[in-house]
Structure 1
Amino acid sequence: MNLLKNTWRALILLFVVMLSNNVSAKQFNALLFTKTDGWHHSSVLEGVSAIKKIAQTHHFDVSWQEDAAQFNTDNLAKYDVVIFLLTTGDVLNAKQQQAFKAFIQQGKGFVGIHSAADTELEWSWYKELVGRTFVIHPAIQTAKVSVINKDFPGVEQMPSTFLWTDEYYQYSKPHSDKLNYILSVDEDTYSPDADWGEVKSDGMGDFHPMAWFQNYDGGRSFYSGLGHLPENYSQPMFLSHLYGGIYWAATGKGL
């Protein structure tokens, strides 16, 4: 009789543990990568704190790393999405690049924030993944930003147009013909002129994109050019925008 009671107790305990694990399981796992090889943004820590807050709010796991050795096949298998937050320069070696490429080809996701477009500029596959690359930027200014795709997740808190203060990157021509644009900035509302000596620009013209997404090489890619200033990462509207991109890149859902 005691053996039977103990067996039932063990089965009940196992059921409770399994139920608890199922209830507490996170939606997905994200690798947050902030390595820099060049300019280092003063807003990195605010950005990391913001992503951690988003993860807590929306019930997903995030691991913050600056060590490129994390980009190996076994380790990347743990994640659904990789977030390049304020990365710059050449941050991955050839072997790490191959592991990351295989990760995307397996149907996983990529999120690039701000200077992710100023990263791995010698790697054509990565430039296509991001969609456009950084060229130059003027001084930090306030400008009018427009939502041009109301269907992408995370723009629900954004009005059709809004004033935003940031460092507005000017980008190359698209490296991919699959880009779907989410946000644009109106160059008539600020001064886009920039002169860095050998590199000069008077802006991108009538259409100046600031955020976009695409399906690429079997996986998903989201990029937002906003997020230079530490103060940006305390704005709920911006955090909603970032989570929309993270959620879609990680799961393919939300459209």
Structure 2
Amino acid sequence: MRRLPVLAAAALLSAGVVMTPAAQAQAPYQVLVFSKTAGFRHDSIPAGIQAIRDLGSANGFTVTATENAATFTPTELAKYAAVVFLSTTGDVLDGTQQSAFESYVNSGGGFVGVHAAADTEYDWPFYGQVVGAYFLSHPNIQQVNVKVEDRAHAATAHLGPVWTRTDELYNYRANPRPNVHVLATLDESSYSGGTMGADHPISWCRTVSSGRSFYTGLGHTIESYADPVFRAHLLGGIKFAAGRAKADCRPESGYTGLFTGTTTGWSQAGSGSFANADGTLSSRGGPGNYWYSAKEFGSYSLKLDWRLTGDGDSGIFLGFPASGAADPGAGGYEVAIDASAAANATTGAVYGAQAPDATARDAALNPPGQWNTFELLVEGERLRVLLNGRQVNDFTNTDPARSLRQGHIGLQNLGDGTVSFRNVRVKELGVVTPTQVQGEAYTSSSGVQTAGHAGAVGGQTVGYIDNGDWAAYSQASTTGARSFTARVSSGGAGGRIEIRSGSSTGPLLGSVAVPNTGSFDTFTTVTTTLTGTATGQTVLVFTGATSGGLFDVDHFTLG
């Protein structure tokens, strides 16, 4: 595949391109462990406190353990990157302390709930939002198969698809899935006493305002806190809540797995291959493209988890035809994975076409050796790149030789073991059908008139445009529109087109500049990205520095 030169290591270090996530991960921080109980008290609490102290000593954070609710003041809470509610029970905070904790989380603090944290503060709505679900009941302690849904999150990345362990297994009053990102569920067929059926979440994460929340229903027994696998689960949750491990913790539903362990429907083009083991694809040799040949996709959300080892390189190909499988960049686009590459080839870049927002990317990126999650949201010719739930790029294709609108997806391999992928899944979206409208076909207007031009499609444009004029098109809905393209001409001052929904003062979806093209018979194309979710008729509002024939519009397209 075509690659741009990477930066030299010395330049990389001096520029800080990949140092921000790693430096943040290594910076020391403080964690508060709160274990006050006003109901049942678990005998595992001392073992849990010691386990968290041990994890802190080995992983760069210090631990303060308390059962004194007076610690919950704005000044005291501000010292901590995360607060762990370790098997708390009952009503443990008064109103003032609750307010302090709400402010702490909403302003960016982290919450970790362990086991009976879900048996706490039933009458505090904010706490219910943070913890995700309230305890209902439990059967006797027994062995269970835990099904791991998300193997990219720091709390579950070390686990296989099934985790067999012994614990006290909570049933919850309501399924939290609509409001949280589920990491793991209980297989009720593997034990007795489950009441939630086929979908029984047991661990999850979410964001709350600017804060982060992680909960695990496991951790009842003393033995849990000596188990290195459970300790790693707990450590990953603490790191996420403290902001030291990034993750996409938005609720997720409606996705279909393309790769979840089996390679049915996938084909290799080019050299090299991917090894498949433990539900993970790992690159071997290359350059090559492992592509999903079973189906093309139009508008869709593609999610996948990826990990680099060291200074690796890879990418995800989108929108290429089957005939271009060996060189997918010729017909579609690549979203790059290489934190050390040049700006338009680095992680989150649309390769060779548009660099990511560097600040957003650095804030969202986990360093090599850790898993990251991409969402690649394709709507027509618009591509948005989200890294661990944060948007880092928003790109609209205007190249007529390339398209995102329909095609295959693929995973690039560029060397032995440099990149791994897990959990490739897709959700198909409603297709936005491009709507082309003649400029002179307005259904209501102010100030404009039809103008005749031999070079216009149909021989006419909307013209005689002055500052503040507008034209409305009831036949063109803004519903689902993500791009605007217009064929324009100007022998005057030029100006701007504002794209609004419903009326001339309705929601502004976007705007685009119209240049002087040399004459009103010389046409060019202008394009812009649209944002928002308005659903009214399309209204074009025309602005410019002067009045008197700013520009003409031959036709426009919503996509």
TM category, shorter: 0.7 to 0.9
Report the secondary structure of 2:198's partner residue.
coil
Alignment of 1:189-208 (within 5 A): 189-192=190-193, 203-208=195-200
User: Structure 1 residues 174, 204: CA separation in 2 closer, same or farther (over 3 Å shift)?
Assistant: closer
- Deviation readout 1:102-152 (Å, 9 max, x if unpaired): 100111100000000000011111011111110001111111111110110
On the 8 A contact 2:151/2:159 being kept in 1, the answer is no
Partner of 2:405: none
On the 8 A contact 2:177/2:201 being kept in 1, the answer is no
On the 8 A contact 2:175/2:200 being kept in 1, the answer is no
Deviation at 1:174, TM superposition (A): 4.4
Report the secondary structure of 1:165's partner residue.
strand
Percent of aligned positions that are identical: 40
On the 8 A contact 1:37/1:89 being kept in 2, the answer is yes
Deviation at 1:154, TM superposition (A): 2.9
On the 8 A contact 2:91/2:120 being kept in 1, the answer is yes
- Deviation readout 1:68-116 (Å, 9 max, x if unpaired): 0000111111111110001000000000000000100111100000000
Take 2:215 and 2:129, find their aligned partners in 1: how far apart are those partners?
Answer: 12
Letter in 2 for 1:109: G
Q: Is 1:224 paired with 2:213?
A: no
Take 1:128 and 1:164, find their aligned partners in 2: how far apart are those partners?
Answer: 28
Give the root-mean-square deviation of aligned CA atoms: 1.6
Unaligned runs of 5+ in 1: 1-24, 193-201
Letter in 1 for 2:221: L
- Deviation readout 1:152-179 (Å, 9 max, x if unpaired): 0132332211221100000122468430
Take 1:228 and 1:175, find their aligned partners in 2: how far apart are those partners?
Answer: 20
Deviation at 1:218, TM superposition (A): 2.2
On the 8 A contact 1:181/1:209 being kept in 2, the answer is yes
Take 1:176 and 1:147, find their aligned partners in 2: how far apart are those partners?
Answer: 14
Alignment of 1:180-195 (within 5 A): 180-192=181-193
Take 2:156 and 2:75, find their aligned partners in 1: how far apart are those partners?
Answer: 34
Take 2:244 and 2:185, find their aligned partners in 1: how far apart are those partners?
Answer: 23
Partner of 1:101: 102
Greater RCO structure (CA 8 Å; 6+ sep): 1
On the 8 A contact 1:127/1:175 being kept in 2, the answer is no
Take 1:126 and 1:174, find their aligned partners in 2: how far apart are those partners?
Answer: 16
Unaligned runs of 5+ in 2: 1-25, 248-559
Alignment of 1:47-58 (within 5 A): 47-58=48-59
Bigger radius of gyration: 2
Q: Is 1:246 paired with 2:244?
A: no
Of Structure 1 and Structure 2, the greater strand share is in: 2
Take 1:70 and 1:126, find their aligned partners in 2: how far apart are those partners?
Answer: 17
Q: Give the TM-score, by structure 1 length.
A: 0.84
Take 1:120 and 1:148, find their aligned partners in 2: how far apart are those partners?
Answer: 28
Q: Give the TM-score, by structure 2 length.
A: 0.39
Report the secondary structure of 1:47's partner residue.
helix
Alignment of 1:75-94 (within 5 A): 75-94=76-95
Partner of 1:234: 226
On the 8 A contact 1:220/1:252 being kept in 2, the answer is no
Deviation at 1:65, TM superposition (A): 0.5
Number of residues paired by the alignment? 223
